[in-house]
């Protein structure tokens, strides 16, 4: 899927993948880390990352994108995954990079997975939010992605928005809107911080740890200044408030130790 520059922004080919569609992950992605720990199978339609005591692993997309509805179905590391981090994210390159993060923090068996999201714009991050997932993400594939427009970014889990980050550049808040980003994922040892602040370490007797991927999709979005593009629907807003009320466990906007004066976007994205 090539991308083309036209009238000031990228327009890339439309790819819509529905449940059961057959995206060739081996055509869309390259191994970026530890080729012997990455496995393409089912004719290239599925991919697995592996973590053991020797190495983690990772992959990256062959294309970059600017705006779109970008999704991947993932089945996370099952069982006692404490200390592991499965990172799935979009990122541009360079010190002033933009980045949109999903980080799945492992747990002891039977405890809920923690999903941390973060937004980098022009190299500035430190915008972490954490939620508990309301389902077991190790038993079935679930879709994780972003709806990224020039006006806002919605972080999505299946059809549920879990976070919105709006374009407040008029208020001096940097926003990812000019740098095309690639799609990346990695599975690695984060036991110095990932589970209960690093108190729970990886139990290597459960290795290898495996995360599985399928059905990558990118849907291009015609950018305009119309209200239909700027607005978050009332149904999306209700679902977002449900997540905040029932599953959010950390929001940088409420961290008075880090931010005695909350960043300006916090009061505008409520």
User: What domains are defined for the chain?
Assistant: 3-268 (2.60.120.200)
Closest CA to 26 of 12, 3, 43: 43
Residue 265 has pLDDT above 80, yes or no: yes
Q: Which residue has the higher pLDDT, 121 or 8?
A: 121
Percent of the chain at pLDDT > 70 equals 88
Query: How many Å apart are CA 104 and CA 77, to the nearest integer?
Result: 9
User: What are the C-alpha distances in Å from 221 to residues 45, 68, 150, 151, 185?
Assistant: 25, 5, 10, 12, 23
Find the catalytic residue in 19, 28, 103, 265. Answer: 103
Query: How many Å apart are CA 179 and CA 194, to the nearest integer?
Result: 29
User: What are the C-alpha distances in Å from 25 to residues 29, 49, 259?
Assistant: 6, 13, 41
Q: Which residue has the higher pLDDT, 232 or 218?
A: 218
Query: How many Å apart are CA 18 and CA 141, to the nearest integer?
Result: 13
- Going by C-beta distance under 8 Å and a sequence separation of 6 or more, which residues neighbour residue 241? none
Find the catalytic residue in 28, 93, 99, 177. Answer: 99
Which pLDDT value is given to residue 195?
84
Residue 3 has pLDDT above 60, yes or no: no
Give the angle 144-37-213 at the CA atoms, nearest 5°: 20
Strands (E), 205-252: 209-219, 248-251
Q: Residue 5 CA to chain centroid, in angstroms?
A: 25
Active site annotation includes 103? yes
For the stretch 43-89, pLDDT in tens is 999 999 999 999 999 999 999 999 999 999 999 999 999 999 999 99
How many Cβ atoms from other residues are within 10 Å of residue 86's Cβ?
28
Query: How many Å apart are CA 126 and CA 268, to the nearest integer?
Result: 17
Residue 192 has pLDDT above 80, yes or no: yes
Average pLDDT over residues 151-179: 96
Query: How many Å apart are CA 14 and CA 1, to the nearest integer?
Result: 8
CB-CB contact of 72 with 219 (8 Å): no
Active site annotation includes 99? yes
Closest CA to 211 of 264, 262, 138: 138
Mind giving me the DSSP string for 168-203?
-GGGT---S-SS-EEEEEEEEE-TTTTTGGGTS---
How many Cβ atoms from other residues are within 10 Å of residue 16's Cβ?
10
Q: Tell me the residue length of the chain.
A: 270
Give the chain's largest Cα–Cα span.
55
pLDDT range class, residue 1, cuts 50, 70, 90 = very low
pLDDT range class, residue 228, cuts 50, 70, 90 = very low
């Amino acid at each position: 899927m090539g991308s083309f520059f036209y009238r000031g922004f990228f327009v890339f080919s439309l790819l819509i993948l529905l449940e059961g569609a057959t995206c060739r992950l081996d055509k869309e992605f390259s191994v970026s880390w530890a080729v012997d720990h990455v496995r393409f199978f089912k004719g290239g339609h599925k991919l697995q990352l592996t973590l053991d005591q020797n190495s983690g692993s990772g992959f990256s997309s062959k294309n970059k994108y600017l705006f779109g509805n970008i999704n991947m179905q993932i089945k996370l590391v099952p069982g006692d995954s404490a200390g592991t981090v499965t990172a799935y994210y979009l990122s541009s390159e360079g010190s002033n990079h933009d980045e949109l993060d999903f980080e799945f923090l492992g747990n002891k068996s039977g405890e809920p997975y923690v999903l941390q999201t973060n937004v980098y714009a022009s190299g500035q991050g430190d915008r972490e939010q954490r939620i508990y997932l309301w389902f077991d993400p190790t038993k079935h594939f679930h879709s994780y992605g972003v709806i990224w427009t020039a006006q806002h970014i919605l972080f999505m889990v299946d059809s549920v928005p879990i976070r919105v980050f709006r374009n407040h550049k008029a208020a001096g808040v940097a926003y990812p809107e000019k740098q095309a980003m690639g799609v990346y994922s990695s599975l690695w040892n984060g036991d110095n911080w990932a589970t209960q602040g690093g108190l729970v370490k990886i139990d290597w007797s459960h290795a290898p740890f495996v995360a599985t991927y399928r059905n990558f999709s990118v849907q291009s979005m015609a950018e305009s200044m119309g209200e239909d593009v700027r607005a978050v629907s009332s149904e999306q807003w209700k679902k977002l408030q449900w997540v905040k009320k029932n599953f959010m466990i950390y929001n940088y906007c409420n961290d008075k130790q880090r931010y005695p004066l909350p960043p300006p976007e916090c009061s505008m994205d409520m």
